[in-house]
């Protein structure tokens, strides 16, 4: 957990000092950035909240709420790194369709961001059943985009 939090803080620090319109220096930098954000998000989302929701990890209300807040923050970050020309330049699981179906990609991104806000609200209640109920739709929102737009 400690490492995850540190990586997330480092990522956030980078973002906070970078204007949203800033270009990445290279496509490779953009690809690495978005993959890093997704990796940390996956750790918090699947690895911590999902593990609690499925009983693989003991329920800890504070840890769940903290991680859900982290996911809400992280969920806003990857999108600037899908600019034109970042479909290649480093190994990537992003499918070319992202750049031809941008409206659909954005719609699925918005949907996921809405679901993780609900997840964070559920996590704050301190009730495991509420956490479980909100986790499913959020996970489906991650999966909908991965199925459509990644080669994993
Ligand atoms: C709108 C689309 C979209 C949504 C929604 C989305 N992802 Fe992703 N995700 C991607 C794309 C595209 C990649 C591949 C990025 C690349 O390789 O350049 C990816 C990759 C990943 C990876 C692998 C990272 C790596 O190291 O390559 C993880 C983990 C991940 N996502 C977690 C999540 C979680 C957790 C959620 C939901 C809370 C989520 N994603 C929601 C598009 C999405």
CATH topology for 2-13+25-80+92-149? 1.20.120
The answer, yes or no, to whether residue 20 has pLDDT greater than 60, is no
Q: pLDDT per residue over 48-107, tens digit each?
A: 999 999 999 999 999 999 999 999 999 999 999 999 999 999 999 999 999 999 999 999
Domain definitions of the chain by residue range: 2-13+25-80+92-149
Q: Is the CB of 70 under 6 A from ligand 1?
A: no
Taking CA atoms only, the protein residue closest to ligand 1 atom 28 is 38
Name the residue with the closest Cα to ligand 1, atom 18: 92
> Could you tell me which residues are beta bridge partners of residue 150?
94
Which of 146, 148, 149, 152 has most ligand 1 atoms within 8 Å of CB, for mutation? 146
Q: How far is CA 139 from CA 9, 23, 31, in A?
A: 23, 30, 23
Do 120 and 59 meet the contact criterion of CB atoms below 8 Å apart? Answer: no
Share of the chain above pLDDT 90, in %: 84
Are 139 and 131 contacting, i.e. CB atoms less than 8 angstroms apart?
no
Position 23 scores a pLDDT of: 75
The encoded tokens of residue 139 equal 């996970």
Q: Which atom of ligand 1 is nearest to the CA of 44?
A: 35
60 Cα to the center of ligand 1, angstroms: 25
The position carrying tokens 């609690």 is 52
């Amino acid at each position: 957990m400690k490492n995850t939090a540190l990586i997330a803080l480092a990522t956030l620090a980078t973002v906070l000092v970078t204007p949203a319109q800033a270009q990445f220096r290279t496509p490779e930098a953009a690809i690495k950035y978005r993959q890093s954000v997704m990796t940390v998000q996956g750790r918090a989302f699947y690895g911590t909240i999902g593990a609690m929701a499925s009983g693989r990890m003991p329920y800890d209300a504070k840890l769940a709420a903290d991680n859900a807040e982290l996911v809400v923050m992280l969920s806003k970050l990857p999108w600037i790194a899908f600019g034109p020309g970042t479909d290649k330049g480093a190994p990537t699981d992003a499918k070319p369709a992202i750049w031809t179906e941008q409206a659909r990609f954005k719609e699925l991104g918005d949907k996921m961001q809405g679901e993780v806000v609900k997840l964070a609200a559920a996590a704050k209640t301190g009730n495991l059943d509420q956490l479980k109920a909100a986790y499913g739709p959020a996970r489906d929102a991650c999966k909908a985009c991965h199925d459509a737009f990644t080669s994993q």
